C-alpha cells in the first residue's frame, strides 16, 4: 500500500457584501442539471459546489457520497489544497496594511543562516513563485516516505526544513510553482504576529468575515464532517482511502501547512472570494492592487500574489482563480470581476484532474450563471408584462401555452442570450410548441397579441 500511495501522492499535490436575492427555482433546476451531468460524465464519487450571482441569488449543489450509504451534504468541509495559498497571501498583505512588514522585505530576517533559503529573497518573490527555492513537497521523495510512514502524525512547519534542498534558480526569475514559498510565508506570519498560523488566520480572516465552516486541521478541530477521500487503484477502480487504507488527513495537511492545509465548505470558499475580490472588505484597494501584479505562468494564465488570472476563460471573460489538490480531494474556483460571479467546486476524489474540474464543472456553472444574468436585461425591455399559462414547466418534448383571449398571437422563444430559437403565429387561444429539439436549459417565452399589442412573458425550463 505504501508504494502505491507514494506513486499517487507524487503526482497530485496542490496545484460579502453583494446583493443576493432568493434564488429562482427555474435557475436552480438548471444548475442542478449541469452539475449532476458533469459529475456523472467524469464519474465523480462526491462533490459540493456553490455559485454566487449578485442580484440573482446563491445556489449550492451536492453530488454523490462520502462513503457507502453516506451522501455528501453542503455542510461538509473539504480539504482545499493550494487554494490555501490565497488565504496565506491575504494574511501577509493584511500584515502589510498594519505596518508590520512589507512584501518588499527580504526574508533573511526570519530565516538567517540557512544555506537552502537565501536571505535576499523577498516576500513578494515567495508569494509570486519567483524565489527559485526547491519544492520540499513535490520534489523530495523523502517527504512522501515520511508521510507514508504514519498518516496520523501531526508535523510542525519547521520540521519541513529537513526536506528543503539547495535552490534550483536565482531569486527574481521566471515563475516556478513551489510549495516551499508558502510554507515560509506561513512561518513569517507566525513570527510577525506571535500567533500560530492557524490562529492568525482565525483572528484576522475566519472570524471577522464570518467563515464559520473554514478550519486549518489538524491544529483545529470541528464538529463539521470531512468526507472520506477516494482514489483510483492501478486498475482504475475507486477506493475509499479511509475504509481501505485507514487514511488520516493529519500528516498530509500538517506537512502542507500554509501551502495547503485549509478545509472549507464550498459556500465558505465562494464567500471568501466574493469578499476578497470585489467588495474590498478583507483587503483594501492598495493591497488588492498588489495582489494583482501578475507575471506569466503559462499559456493563457498569469500569477499574482496567491492568485491565478486566466484570460478568455469563457465568452472572452478574464477570471481570477486558484486550484488545489490533496490526496483524495480536488478544489477549483473562480471569480469574474465584471459580473462579480463566484463559483466553487470541491470533490472528494483525486483521480480526476484539476483541469477537468475547472473546464467542465466550474466553467459549466459559470456559463449558466452568465446566462441567468442576461435574462432580466431583455425581460425588462418588455412593457405590459403579464404571466403566461405554460405547462408542463419544466418541459420535456412539448410545452402548452394558453391565452385568455382569442385572436392572432405572435409566439417567440428565446434562449438565455436573448437569441430567438423559435417563432410561430397562433390563431386560437391555445398552442403547442415542440421542445424536443431544444437543448436543455432556460428559455424566455414571449407572446404578442397582434390586435392589442399586449405582451406576455414567462420563463421556461427544458429538462429531459
Confidence check: pLDDT of 416 > 80: no
And the C-alpha cell for 150?
504514519
Max CA pair span of the chain: 89
Query: Quick one: 420 exposed, middle or buried, by C-beta within 10 A (0-12, 13-18, 19+)?
Result: exposed
The sign of the torsion formed by the CA atoms of 380, 386, 26, 440 equals negative
- State the residue for C-alpha cell 534542498: 165
Which pLDDT tens digit goes with each residue over 167-183?
Answer: 999 999 999 999 999 99
- State the residue for C-alpha cell 492592487: 289
Which pLDDT tens digit goes with each residue over 243-300?
Answer: 999 999 999 999 999 999 999 999 999 999 999 998 678 999 999 999 999 999 998 8
Secondary structure class of 449 (helix, strand, coil): strand
Q: What is the pLDDT of residue 21?
A: 56
- Degrees to nearest 5, angle at CA 256 with 238 and 342: 75
Highest mean pLDDT of the ranges 31-45, 363-377, 381-395: 31-45
Which residue has better confidence, 196 or 236? 196
- State the residue for C-alpha cell 403566461: 388
Binned at pLDDT 50, 70 and 90, residue 378 comes out as: very low
Confidence check: pLDDT of 6 > 60: no
CB 137 within 8 A of CB 201: no
Which pLDDT tens digit goes with each residue over 44-103?
Answer: 999 999 999 987 889 999 999 999 999 999 999 999 999 999 999 999 999 999 999 999
Q: What is the mean pLDDT of residues 134-154?
A: 96
pTM of the model: 0.80
- At 406, give phi and psi (nearest 5°): -75, 165
Supply the DSSP symbol for 229. P
Antiparallel, parallel or unpaired: β 329-336 and 317-326: antiparallel
Binned at pLDDT 50, 70 and 90, residue 418 comes out as: low
Distance CA 447, CA 263 (A): 50
The sign of the torsion formed by the CA atoms of 349, 350, 351, 357 equals positive
Confidence check: pLDDT of 338 > 80: yes
And the C-alpha cell for 50?
456553490
CB 409 within 8 A of CB 448: yes
Peptide bond into 255 cis (omega under 30): no
Q: What is the pLDDT of residue 334?
A: 95
363-379 and 25-41 are packed helices; what angle lies between their axes, rounded to 10 degrees?
160
Amino acid at each position: 500500500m505504501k508504494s502505491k500511495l507514494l506513486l499517487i501522492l507524487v503526482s497530485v499535490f496542490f496545484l460579502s457584501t453583494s446583493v443576493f436575492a432568493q434564488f429562482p427555482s427555474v435557475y436552480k433546476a438548471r444548475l442542478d442539471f449541469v452539475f449532476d451531468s458533469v459529475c456523472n460524465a467524469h464519474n465523480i464519487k462526491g462533490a459540493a459546489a456553490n455559485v454566487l450571482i449578485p442580484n440573482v441569488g446563491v445556489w449550492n449543489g451536492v453530488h454523490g457520497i462520502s462513503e457507502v450509504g453516506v451522501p455528501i451534504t453542503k455542510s461538509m468541509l473539504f480539504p482545499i489544497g493550494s487554494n490555501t495559498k490565497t488565504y496565506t497571501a491575504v494574511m501577509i498583505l493584511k500584515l502589510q496594511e498594519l505596518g508590520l512588514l512589507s512584501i518588499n522585505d527580504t526574508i533573511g530576517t526570519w530565516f538567517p543562516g540557512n544555506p537552502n533559503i537565501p536571505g535576499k529573497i523577498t516576500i513578494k518573490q515567495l508569494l509570486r513563485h519567483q524565489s527559485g527555492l526547491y519544492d520540499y513537497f513535490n520534489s523530495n521523495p523523502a517527504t512522501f516516505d515520511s508521510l507514508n510512514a504514519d498518516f496520523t502524525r501531526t508535523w510542525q512547519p519547521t520540521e519541513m526544513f529537513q526536506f528543503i534542498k539547495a535552490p534550483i534558480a536565482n531569486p527574481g526569475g521566471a515563475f516556478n510553482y513551489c510549495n516551499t514559498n508558502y510554507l515560509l510565508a506561513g512561518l513569517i506570519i507566525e513570527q510577525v504576529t506571535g500567533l500560530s498560523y492557524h490562529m492568525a488566520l482565525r483572528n484576522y480572516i475566519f472570524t471577522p468575515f464570518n467563515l464559520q465552516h473554514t478550519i486549518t486541521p489538524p491544529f483545529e478541530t470541528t464538529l463539521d464532517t470531512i468526507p472520506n477521500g477516494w482514489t483510483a487503484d492501478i486498475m482504475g477502480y475507486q477506493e475509499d482511502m479511509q475504509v481501505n487504507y485507514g487514511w488520516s488527513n493529519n500528516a498530509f495537511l500538517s506537512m502542507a501547512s500554509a501551502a495547503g492545509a485549509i478545509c472549507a465548505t464550498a459556500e465558505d470558499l465562494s464567500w471568501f472570494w466574493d469578499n476578497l475580490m470585489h467588495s474590498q472588505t478583507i483587503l483594501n484597494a492598495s493591497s488588492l492592487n498588489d495582489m494583482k501584479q501578475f507575471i506569466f505562468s503559462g499559456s493563457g494564465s498569469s500569477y499574482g500574489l496567491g492568485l491565478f488570472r486566466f484570460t478568455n476563460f469563457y465568452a472572452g471573460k478574464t477570471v481570477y482563480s486558484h486550484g488545489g489538490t490533496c490526496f483524495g480531494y480536488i478544489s477549483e474556483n473562480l471569480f469574474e470581476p465584471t459580473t462579480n460571479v463566484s463559483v466553487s467546486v470541491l470533490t472528494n476524489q483525486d483521480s480526476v484532474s484539476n483541469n477537468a474540474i475547472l473546464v467542465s464543472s466550474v466553467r459549466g456553472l459559470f456559463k449558466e450563471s452568465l446566462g441567468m444574468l442576461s435574462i432580466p436585461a431583455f425581460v425588462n425591455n418588455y412593457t405590459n408584462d403579464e404571466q403566461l399559462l405554460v405547462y408542463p414547466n419544466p418541459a420535456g418534448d412539448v410545452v402548452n401555452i394558453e391565452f385568455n383571449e382569442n385572436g392572432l398571437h405572435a409566439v417567440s422563444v428565446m434562449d438565455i442570450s436573448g437569441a430567438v430559437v423559435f417563432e410561430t403565429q397562433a390563431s386560437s387561444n391555445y398552442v403547442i410548441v415542440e421542445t424536443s429539439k431544444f437543448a436543455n436549459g432556460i428559455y424566455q417565452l414571449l407572446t404578442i397579441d397582434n390586435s392589442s399589442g399586449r405582451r406576455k412573458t414567462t420563463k421556461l425550463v427544458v429538462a429531459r
